[in-house]
Structure 1
């Protein structure tokens, strides 16, 4: 009886293997050229391996038509100012993210204060080197872009790192020279700025 069962199992296994062998067709790969040295992905399309690679998104934007020469001049001036201050907003974003990450790694208040002081010192050094020479308009755009990149207003960042009184004091000084540290970014209201950023390659 045992021999009969074993014999039947062998027949079933051989039969299933033969079916798999008959139903399996090895995929057809494209022939390699002399300069084919880059590994890419491939998709099996009915037994034919089709190579492919992912490309970056390409934005197609129509040429903007301005109603007046003055409107074109104003847009070009805005573009210059946005490109001038965008690197500072990106720096603030990276530095704030680094600060948040560093603060998560330490639990002692003393160490956290040292990290905040280091961040504040780096931002002040950059301010003393470059940001102090920005125009009022460029400063206003920068505060908007910081809110865009960091997700918090400049006022909130100062309040979080330096305290409410310092943030209030900075806001008073900023208002005197035409700035507002509480400025927020609105993609709809600031659509020209958004268009300039998207078309300038900052996120490629």
Structure 2
């Protein structure tokens, strides 16, 4: 009875080792030996659990996509006020810094999406699912008269996710655009399309102010 559990533990250990190898060497340069060294196992053990290293990479990507989406969904769900939810979504959508492991993993796989159908499908699904959260927040804000949308919710939602993808790359790549500047630009756009005076940190009381024009004043 213990054997399936042990196998699951081994596979989870190999997934963690593969993540470390990808972060350390870059996806294009990772080989079975690198994963085996990170896991402190033999290459044969790696191929016993994952006959093709691409299958292991696919599992790493699948897990990273789901973890990232759940992180965002949970951050949003912590708030009832759609203005707070919007702020939380923006904060959770950008890498915490150049060494954000989860975001680094996602960006490592990005160039492969064009060539690997499974990854392309997952990436498209992740984009759509994130946009759906944003769209629901914006529609809720408009319905409750806390936001005055200046663009269709679906368009604004897609733009927000696209901006995150672009700015996130700059944060990971350590260009001149860091997290604080990316947050400023994201919040600026969000305020512009929601009619809010400001979209700030989710814990800030400034979000309690009503949307411009929402109360008819």
Q: Normalising to structure 2: TM-score of the pair?
A: 0.32
Name whichever structure is richer in helix by fraction. 2
The one of the two structures with greater contact order (alpha-carbon pairs below 8 A, sep at least 6) is 2
Name whichever structure is richer in strand by fraction. 1
Q: Give the structure with higher Rg (CA).
A: 1
Q: Normalising to structure 1: TM-score of the pair?
A: 0.34
